[in-house]
Structure formats: C-alpha cells, structure tokens
Amino acid sequence: MIDSEHHHIEESIAACKAAIEACQSCAAEDIRMATNVCALICLDCADICTATLHTLARHSIHHGDFCAICVHICRACAAVCAPHAQVHEHCRRCMEACEQCAAQCVKHVKERHI
C-alpha cells in the first residue's frame, strides 16, 4: 500500500469514528427529548460506520463495498438532521460528522470488490 492510500484509509477511519460518536449522541439526545425524529437513522448510520471502520482497519478487499453503503447512509442521516441543525447542537454535530464521513469514504467507492 502506498503512503497516500494509507493516509486516505486513516482519514476515513477517523471520519467513521467521529460519525459513530456524533450519531450515537444525536440518537440518545433525540430519544431523551422524545422527538424521535433522528434516532433510527442515527443508529443505522452508527452501525454502518462501525462496520465500515472495521473493514478499512483490516484492509478488507470489501472495504470499497462497505464505503459505498456508508456514503449513502451518512448522506441520508445528514439530510434528516439538517432541518434541526440550527436548533439542536447534537443534530448539527451529527450532520457535519456524517457529511465528513461521506466525503472521506467516497474516495474508496471506486475500490469496490463486487
């Protein structure tokens, strides 16, 4: 693996970690507030980001496949949180982290195995 590829993997792993934390926090706050607007997509996104992080970390041949679904789910999560981002800090953080994760993971979509 060349240095630039390793750097992209490390950036994507860091972005996945940030999205996991932000999504879990947003879901928890959404549930606490009893609004339940973002909770399900946030939990789905955290799960997908966790799986993607694992495939990236172990350099799985399927990491590009996982990145493709991660990009899709992160964008969907950011879109759900966006309308609340100016009112709720947890939604803003989640939206931004998901957008960043999608931006990093999209770099690996071209490496899909299937």
Domain total in the chain: 1
Does the pLDDT of residue 65 top 80, yes or no? yes
d(Cα 29, Cα 31) in Å, to the nearest integer? 5
Q: Mind listing the pLDDT tens digit for each residue in 34-52?
A: 887 899 999 999 999 999 9
Assign 7 a pLDDT band (cuts: 50, 70, 90).
low
The whole domain housing 97 covers: 3-111
Predicted pLDDT of residue 35: 80
> Coil, helix or strand for 60?
coil
Cβ-Cβ contacts under 8 Å for 74 (sequence gap 6 or more)? 19, 45, 48, 49, 98, 99, 101, 102, 105
Predicted pLDDT of residue 11: 94
CATH of the domain at 79: 1.20.1270.360
Average pLDDT over residues 95-102: 98
Asked whether the beta carbons of 20 and 51 are under 8 A apart, the reply is no
d(Cα 54, Cα 72) in Å, to the nearest integer? 18
Assign 26 a pLDDT band (cuts: 50, 70, 90).
very high
